[in-house]
């Protein structure tokens, strides 16, 4: 069975929407395709933390037509200055507990940021999520190393940004969304044709 790989940032609104829609579509189709969410650490890619104001503008645009049901608990002041601890927890879940647990933790980390208003850069938040899923919190060295390994892996595969999906020899960057910048604002629309084609390729 082919594995669907996703390179993505934790604090990426587009990934949050895409993952929820992807899992819903997979489960509705009855497909058993494992999903591996790998780190694409934008703080390393861009050499700076995520900008809370930029993230908030992206969310405002997504809420208009794309995802009015999501981002209920987002709080810009609690955007983590680092996603590395969160990447480490997800990597530990995949490596020690398998695809299903890794996928669940990857979703929960993003829900923590966007639905629960939690700072996943804080050790106590990581410890709480680790306990919820029965995982030993990984040491900081493991978190940093695992994020950098995925980052270099993604660079070799020419990842364009977050989220970028790979299945076998095929890949899709942010499938199903058309994103246009208009001054300091965003115009975001669903591209139904691309989204249907992506789901058909991913889930048969």
Render pLDDT for 167-192 as a digit per residue (tens, 0 to 9): 988 999 998 888 887 666 788 888 88
Render pLDDT for 113-151 as a digit per residue (tens, 0 to 9): 999 999 999 999 999 999 999 999 898 899 999 999 999
Residue 204 has pLDDT above 80, yes or no: no
Domain count, the chain: 1
Residue 41 has pLDDT above 70, yes or no: yes
Average pLDDT in the 192-203 region?
A: 90
Domain range for 183 is 4-203
Determine the pLDDT at residue 128. 97
Among 8-22, 41-55, 86-100, 187-201, the minimum mean pLDDT is found in 187-201
Please give the full DSSP string across the chain, using - where no structure is assigned.
Answer: -PPEEEEE-SS-HHHHHHHHHHHHHHHHHT----EEEEE--HHHHSSS---HHHHHHHHHHHHHHT-TTS-TT--GGG--S--HHHHHHHHHHHHHH-HHHHHHHHHHHHHHHHTS---TTSHHHHHHHHHHHT-PPPPHHHHHHHHHHHHHHHHHTT--SSSEEEETTEEEESTTEEEEEETTEEEEEE-HHHHHHHHHHHH-
Whichever domain contains 100, its CATH number is 3.40.30.10
Percentage of the chain exceeding pLDDT 90: 82
């Amino acid at each position: 069975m082919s594995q669907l790989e996703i390179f993505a940032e934790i604090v990426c609104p587009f990934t949050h929407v895409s993952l929820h829609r992807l899992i819903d579509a997979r489960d509705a189709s009855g497909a058993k395709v494992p999903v591996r969410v790998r780190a694409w650490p934008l703080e390393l890619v861009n050499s700076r933390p995520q900008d809370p104001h930029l993230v908030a503008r992206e969310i405002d645009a997504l809420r208009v037509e794309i995802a009015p049901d999501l981002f209920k608990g987002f709080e810009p002041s609690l955007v983590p200055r680092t996603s590395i601890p969160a990447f480490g927890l997800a990597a530990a879940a995949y490596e020690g507990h398998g695809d299903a647990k890794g996928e669940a933790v990857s979703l929960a980390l993003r829900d923590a940021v966007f639905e629960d208003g939690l700072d996943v850069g804080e050790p106590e938040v990581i410890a709480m999520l680790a306990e919820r899923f029965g995982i030993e919190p990984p040491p900081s060295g493991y978190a940093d190393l695992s994020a950098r390994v995925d980052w270099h892996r993604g660079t070799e595969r020419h990842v364009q940004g977050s989220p970028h999906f790979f299945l076998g020899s095929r890949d899709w960057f942010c499938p199903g969304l058309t994103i246009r910048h208009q001054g300091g604002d965003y115009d975001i629309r669903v591209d139904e044709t691309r989204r249907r084609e992506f789901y058909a390729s991913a889930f048969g």
